[in-house]
Amino acid sequence: MGKLTATVLAAAAIAVTFTGTAQAETNPRCSTGVTKIGDTKYLKSGSKTVASVKQFKGCNKNWGYIYVWDSWKADHPNFVATVAVTTGDGGIDTDSGARGQQEVWSRGARTLNVCTQVYGTVSGGHAGFTEERC
């Protein structure tokens, strides 16, 4: 491989690493795949991002998803993340991860016919809702 080709490939790898969009998460409970709906909610501690909270649809259900960022986990290894699909009158299909578990999916909620939000929490007082989707 020539120097120019190696340089171009290295630059492309760096560009994808720093500017590429995040790929869809893989839901272990919906083998046909899920589609993200609505905006991502970012849980913050000051200017530092703690976690991302998202809502998905697939397999005739709504799904909640929370991902604790590497940078937060490095300094706070004993957190617990929880995620729930809600209909405004309480949580449906809430799920918590094990201590230090970075990625948590809710159990699917059969709520495609009503308005829903996803509520995510990370121990230590970091919590928030995604936007409502109808």
36-55: pLDDT as tens digits: 999 999 999 999 999 999 99
Question: What span, in angstroms and rounded, lies between the C-alpha atoms of 120 and 1?
Answer: 48
14-40 tens-digit pLDDT: 333 333 333 448 899 998 889 999 999
pLDDT at 111 over 50: yes
The mean pLDDT of 116-120, rounded to a whole number, is 96
Half-sphere exposure of 72 (CA within 13 A, CB side): 26
